[in-house]
């Protein structure tokens, strides 16, 4: 078993191999074939169409993705709340998948460090076959329930295990969910099959019912797109819940290049209503730390005090300002926005 921590993902090849069609184990007796493996009458005669016609069929079918994700939002919100509570206790989130599903989990985990400054090892992506499977198909890795069990056995009672499988029957994912759940982790299956055979191995089953694919069994299409949107929503809402944003601004961004350093200046100007020169000077006085600069701008606290208060509140700008000024409303705000508002000057998470 190889796990991928945030920032460790390799570039994904634009050529998807048969991994998106091979993650399905044979259906058990009496269980219907996964919709993702059924033929789609809307794409019949696909190879007789011209290029624009093929693209129009694909685009038309993609509309089902938004509806499928929307239907799952209440369950997804519950999962975010559970994960946030466990992460506040020191727990972690683990994604498990094979082929396309596994790559999407690793991708989502790897993007949380640069976007939200999330510490490595807090959200981890596991893919059947290890890092080699990120760029090349490892054909039989998804069939190893033992490898999944070994990966899932690393989890504890404060952790969350999220298995991702279009068919809902991948043995690697089933092994991971079984082992994680046995150790007390909260286990969730995300699949595109309402009759997924792995559903009984999870505490909850989030179904993204995207139906048959334009190319039969090619789950890198609608199923994969729905999984990507769902993981985007889950991890973004989780980071908001953990105080990694200020209003709708990316205040936890890791400014590792010139573009991102300029972004921190723009964010500070937006958040604190400062001119360019003042924003740059404030950032410099705070050693380039954007969150510290925002707290200083609203509380007039010394940078060292602002930084230590942020640290004591796990990086939440809202909580740090609340402690330093004794109110959710920023010092000097005159826009009439209360602590639950979203306008400029509002204390964000």
Q: Please identify every residue annotated as catalytic.
A: 111, 142
Q: Count Cβ atoms within 10 A of the Cβ of residue 68 and give its class: 0-12 exposed, 13-18 middle, 19 or more buried.
A: buried
Task: Retrieve residue 121's tokens.
Answer: 């090892």
**Residue 187 forms beta bridges with which residues?**
161
Q: Which residues of 160-171 are buried (b: 16+ CB within 10 A; e: fewer)?
A: bbbbbbbbbbbb
157: its two tokens: 């009672």
Q: Are 80 and 234 in contact (CB under 8 A)?
A: yes
Residues 6 or more apart from 253 whose CB is under 8 A from it?
114, 115, 116, 117, 260, 263, 264, 267, 290
Cα–Cα distance measured from residue 160 to residue 151, given in angstroms and rounded to the nearest whole number = 13
- The token pair that represents 148 in the structure block: 């999944």
Beta 186-191 vs 204-207: how paired, if at all? parallel
Q: Residue 249's beta-bridge partner residues?
A: 246
Which residue intervals of 122-247 are DSSP H helices?
Answer: 145-152, 171-182, 222-241
Query: Rounded to whole angstroms, how far apart are CA atoms 343 and 347?
Result: 9
What are the percentages of helix, strand and coil residues in the chain, rounded to 5? Answer: 50, 10, 45
For 25, other C-beta atoms within 10 Å of its C-beta total 19
Contacts of 18 (CB under 8 A, 6+ apart): 137, 139
For the CA atoms of the chain, what is the radius of gyration? 22
């Amino acid at each position: 078993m190889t796990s991928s921590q945030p920032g460790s993902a390799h570039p994904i090849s634009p050529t998807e191999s048969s991994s998106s069609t091979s993650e399905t184990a044979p259906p058990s007796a009496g269980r219907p074939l996964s919709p993702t493996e059924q033929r789609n009458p809307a794409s019949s005669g696909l190879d007789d169409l011209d290029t624009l016609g093929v693209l129009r069929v694909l685009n038309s079918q993609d509309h089902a993705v938004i509806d499928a994700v929307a239907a799952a939002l209440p369950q997804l919100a519950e999962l975010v709340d559970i994960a946030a509570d466990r992460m506040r206790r020191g727990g972690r989130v683990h994604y498990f998948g094979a082929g396309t599903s596994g790559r999407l989990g690793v991708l989502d985990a790897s993007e949380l460090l640069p976007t939200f400054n999330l510490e490595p090892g807090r959200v981890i992506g596991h893919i059947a076959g290890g890092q080699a499977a990120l760029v090349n198909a490892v054909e039989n890795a998804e069939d190893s329930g033992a490898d999944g069990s070994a990966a899932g056995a690393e989890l504890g009672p404060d952790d969350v295990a999220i298995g991702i499988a279009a068919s809902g029957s991948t043995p690697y994912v089933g092994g991971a969910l079984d082992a994680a759940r046995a150790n007390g982790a909260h286990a969730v299956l995300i699949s595109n099959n309402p009759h997924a055979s792995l559903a009984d191995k999870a505490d909850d089953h989030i179904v993204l019912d995207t139906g048959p694919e334009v190319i039969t069994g090619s789950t890198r299409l609608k199923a994969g797109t729905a999984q990507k949107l769902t993981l985007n929503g889950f991890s973004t809402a989780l980071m908001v819940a953990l105080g990694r944003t200020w209003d709708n601004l990316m205040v936890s961004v890791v400014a590792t290049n010139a573009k991102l350093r300029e972004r921190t200046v723009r964010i500070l100007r937006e958040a604190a209503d400062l001119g360019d020169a003042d924003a740059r000077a404030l950032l410099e006085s705070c050693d380039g730390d954007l969150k510290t600069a925002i707290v200083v701008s609203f509380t007039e606290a010394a940078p060292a005090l602002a930084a230590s208060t942020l640290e004591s509140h796990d990086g939440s700008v809202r909580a740090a300002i609340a402690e330093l000024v004794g109110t959710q409303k920023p010092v000097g705000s005159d826009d009439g926005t209360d602590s639950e508002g979203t306008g400029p000057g509002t204390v964000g998470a």
